[in-house]
């Protein structure tokens, strides 16, 4: 991937692979290992060398990679994204029904519920299985349609097209075929284990459709999980282009889990993953508390999560002063309540970097009467006191089972992040940047 041109087809492969947060993490880890990054399990002792390339995972659903600085630590480049997407979590393998094979689900994150109806679905995630040496995780995702969530026909609800209030316990439970089918046995066979050896599982429903170009000129693409795997892949690509030329600079790329449900888990942005890794790196380098604070001041963190493009049928939902066009470039996200971390100070730095890369920038802000959500950076900033900027790419149908985004924007983000990782950043005094432009 390093020194190779950005490929939209490789992004598609990452989107197709990321059917669960566990699969997204496995896909990212495989890319890192192919690029020579060494796995450092959190439970093991770490031996870190100047200029070394490493990564670690937490819960199998979050991953953090870093390049060790050479010489005395002066600062960090960092980028954060997330591995999870809204979906349906399987609560119980098999439930009794007189007609159908069923498994009960509950909503994970704020999805557009009807987008999951009447489409072929599979199951993805991990099984925790008993082995002779203990308990192991096995990733599963059968490559076939296992389930669907059937709609109620129009004949039984004549007002369906006038608006439907969905009850997820009643209206959005999937069927897995006829009575007698057994999901646990199917997944056990997929994992190559016996059903009785499955002790527990973390499983979700996943769409079967692959990422595909869309539009008369193929300028857009559709896929599940664009939010936020598009940012995860493009920031990873940019991270891997880092040349490591700046003495004392370290580089970090992290993909957290559980952003869609508040990031408050151990593997989420409010957990201690990044703080713990930084502490271990600094200890290995003999860094004092003063040196740590100085280095974090001379840093910039990109909080990368997609934003809303102006909808073609509902432009009134967007800020009229800041329309977002798909294909118009990377978003800088602002919010007066500071739920986006971008300030004039950090926005200016990233805008200058994008200009150097030849990447257009768009401003994203919500309407004054529409409160925005929180972001990774906002939550991560409770622990990691680095200057931060919230960025993303414009997309349509966020949190739908299938979303739409721009092929050009994905390449813009990748180029901008690559430039960022190769641009020296220093804060000589509060409110000023010295950028190696």
Does residue 355 register a pLDDT over 80?
yes
Closest to 54 in 3D by CA, of 73, 24, 32, 81? 32
Cα end-to-end span (Å), the chain = 24
Sign of torsion over alpha carbons 176, 182, 184, 186: negative
At residue 381, the pLDDT reads 85
Does residue 401 register a pLDDT over 80?
yes
E strand or H helix at 212, and its extent? strand 212-214
Local confidence band at 227 (pLDDT 50, 70, 90 cut-offs): very high
The single-letter DSSP state of residue 2 is T
Does residue 3 register a pLDDT over 80?
no
At residue 354, the pLDDT reads 97
Local confidence band at 2 (pLDDT 50, 70, 90 cut-offs): confident
Local confidence band at 374 (pLDDT 50, 70, 90 cut-offs): confident
Question: For the chain, which residues make up each domain, given as ranges?
Answer: 8-85+224-435, 87-207
CB 175, CB 102: distance < 8 Å: yes
Separation CA 378–CA 432 (nearest Å)? 22
At residue 29, the pLDDT reads 98
Q: Which two tokens stand for residue 130?
A: 């008993």
Local confidence band at 214 (pLDDT 50, 70, 90 cut-offs): very high
User: CB within 8 A of 18, min separation 6: which ones?
Assistant: 24, 27, 83, 85, 225, 229, 232
Which neighbouring-strand residues pair with 147?
121
Question: Residue 95 burial by CB count (10 A; 0-12/13-18/19+): exposed, middle or buried?
Answer: middle
The C-alpha angle 250, 11, 242, rounded to 5 degrees, equals 20
Local confidence band at 64 (pLDDT 50, 70, 90 cut-offs): very high
Q: Model pTM? A: 0.96
Model pLDDT for residues 233-279, shown as the tens digit of each residue = 999 999 999 988 888 999 999 999 999 999 989 999 999 999 999 99
**CATH number, span 87-207:** 2.30.250.10
Sign of torsion over alpha carbons 228, 76, 293, 42: positive
Separation CA 172–CA 219 (nearest Å)? 33
For the chain, how big is the Rg over CA atoms in Å?
Answer: 22
In the block, residue with structure tokens 């009467």: 369
What angle, 0 to 180 degrees and rounded to 10, lies between the N-to-C axes of helices 273-285 and 289-297?
Answer: 120
**CATH fold group of domain 8-85+224-435:** Aminopeptidase (3.40.630)
Which neighbouring-strand residues pair with 178?
100
Model pLDDT for residues 307-351, shown as the tens digit of each residue = 999 999 999 999 999 999 999 999 999 998 888 999 999 999 999
3-state helix, strand, coil in the chain (%, to 5): 30, 25, 45
């Amino acid at each position: 991937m390093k020194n190779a041109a950005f490929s939209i087809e490789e992004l598609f492969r990452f989107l197709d692979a990321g059917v669960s947060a566990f699969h997204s993490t496995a896909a990212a880890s495989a890319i890192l290992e192919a690029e020579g990054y060494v796995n450092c399990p959190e439970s093991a002792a770490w031996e870190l060398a100047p200029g070394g390339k490493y990564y670690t995972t937490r819960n199998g659903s979050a991953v953090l990679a870093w390049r060790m600085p050479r010489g005395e630590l002066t600062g960090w480049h960092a980028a954060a994204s997330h591995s999870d997407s809204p979906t349906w979590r399987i609560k119980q393998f098999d439930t009794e029904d007189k007609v159908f094979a069923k498994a009960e689900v509950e909503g994970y994150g704020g999805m557009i519920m009807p987008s999951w109806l009447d489409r072929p679905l599979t199951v993805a995630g991990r099984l925790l299985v008993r082995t002779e040496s203990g308990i192991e995780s096995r990733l599963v995702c059968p490559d076939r349609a296992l389930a669907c969530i059937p709609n109620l026909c129009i004949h039984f609800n004549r007002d369906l097209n006038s608006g439907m209030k969905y009850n997820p316990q009643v209206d959005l439970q999937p069927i897995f075929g006829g009575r007698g089918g057994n999901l646990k046995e199917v997944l056990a066979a997929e994992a190559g284990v016996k059903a009785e050896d499955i002790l527990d599982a973390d499983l979700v429903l996943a769409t079967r459709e692959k990422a595909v170009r869309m539009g008369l000129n193929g300028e857009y693409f559709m896929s599940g999980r664009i939010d936020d795997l598009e940012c995860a892949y493009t920031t990873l690509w940019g991270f891997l282009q880092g040349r490591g030329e700046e003495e004392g600079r370290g580089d970090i790329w992290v993909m957290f889990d559980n952003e869609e449900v508040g990031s408050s888990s151990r593997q989420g942005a409010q957990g201690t993953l990044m703080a713990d890794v930084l502490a271990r790196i600094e200890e290995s380098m003999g860094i004092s508390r003063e040196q740590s604070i100085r280095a974090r001041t001379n840093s910039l963190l990109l909080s990368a999560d997609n934003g809303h493009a102006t909808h073609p049928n509902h432009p009134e939902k967007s800020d009229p002063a800041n329309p977002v066009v798909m294909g118009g470039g990377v978003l800088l996200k602002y919010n007066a309540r500071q739920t986006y971390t971008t300030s004039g100070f950090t926005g200016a730095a990233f805008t200058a970097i994008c200009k150097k890369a030849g990447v257009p920038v768009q401003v994203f802000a919500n309407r004054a009467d529409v409160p925005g959500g929180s972001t990774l950076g906002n939550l991560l900033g409770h622990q990691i006191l680095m200057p931060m900027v919230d960025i993303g790419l414009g997309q349509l149908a966020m949190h739908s089972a299938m979303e739409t985004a721009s092929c050009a924007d994905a390449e813009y983000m990748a180029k901008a992040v690559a430039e960022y990782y190769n641009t020296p950043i220093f804060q000589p005094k509060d409110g000023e940047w010295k950028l190696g432009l």
